[in-house]
Amino acid sequence: MGMTEELVEWTHEQKCRKTVSALEKNEFIAHYCAAPQDAIDYIITAATDSMSVGFGGSMSIVSLGVEQMLREQGKEILNHGSPSFSRDEKMEIMRRQLTCDLFLSGCNALTLNGELVNIDATGNRVAAMFFGPRKVIVVVGRNKLVDGTTQDAIDRIKAWATPPNSKRLNFNTPCRSTGFCSDCKSPDRLCRVTTIIDRRPRFTDLHVLVVNADMGF
């Protein structure tokens, strides 16, 4: 690694660590992960006493490959993402995720002040993030960090997360075609539920892993 790369990595690390400190001040259980493998190890250890594990549809979590690892350990996997499920089957799994032992999710944006900002189409993911599951682990790559306000975080989501998600899910929205938010009125609009978690919810064992790597979008 050359000097430029080393300095860039150092800068990323400082931003990640600053965010972890801010999260801790906001009463979250926060950890700095130098690499994705650290997040994998943390999740596998945290899942030891969990019988059921819910997945919120996060590409960051998918990239870690933990679902298969947990399945091989005999965990009940609650993942509504299979295209073979009917709508009713997906809804049932989403409801069960709200009471699972461990819920795994990504985060659309995380401010350096320690505020988790997300936008959902259905709301099942964000609902499970702040109440219901016995334990929640949110994995956030450094590319999701926002040095600014919660409005800046929302702007980041609509610029960098919603368009590719619309394309990935094949939703009929303008941003799927253009790559740019137009505050659409489409029936397939993803931006329907916006949440800001600025302090750890009182009764939720919420862990945030800030990873010094680009993850998801």
**Range(s) of the domain holding residue 203:** 16-211
Number of domains in the chain: 1
Instruction: Evaluate whether residue 8 is within a structural domain.
Output: no
Tell me if 186 is assigned to some domain: yes
Residue 66 lies in a domain: yes
Given its phi and psi angles, is residue 114 left (phi above 0), alpha (psi -120 to 50 degrees) or beta?
left
Degrees (nearest 5) of the Cα angle 42, 57, 157? 95
* Residue 164 placed within a domain: yes
pLDDT of residue 123: 97
What separation in angstroms does the CA of 36 have from each of 24, 156, 178, 183? 21, 22, 31, 34
In a domain, 97, yes or no: yes
Domain for residue 3, yes or no?
no
R_g of the chain computed on alpha carbons = 17
Position 25 scores a pLDDT of 98
What is the per-residue pLDDT for 71? Answer: 98
Looking at the domain assignment, is residue 28 inside a domain? yes
Q: What angle do CA 47, 205, 57 make, to 5 degrees?
A: 60
Q: What residue ranges of the chain have pLDDT lower than 50?
A: none
pTM, rounded to two decimals? 0.97
CATH number at residue 146: 3.40.50.10420
Classified as helix, coil or strand, 175 is: helix
Q: Residues 135, 102: contact at Cβ < 8 Å?
A: yes
Determine the longest span between alpha carbons in the chain, in angstroms. 54
pLDDT at 81: 92
- pLDDT at res. 2: 87
Residue 76 covered by a domain: yes
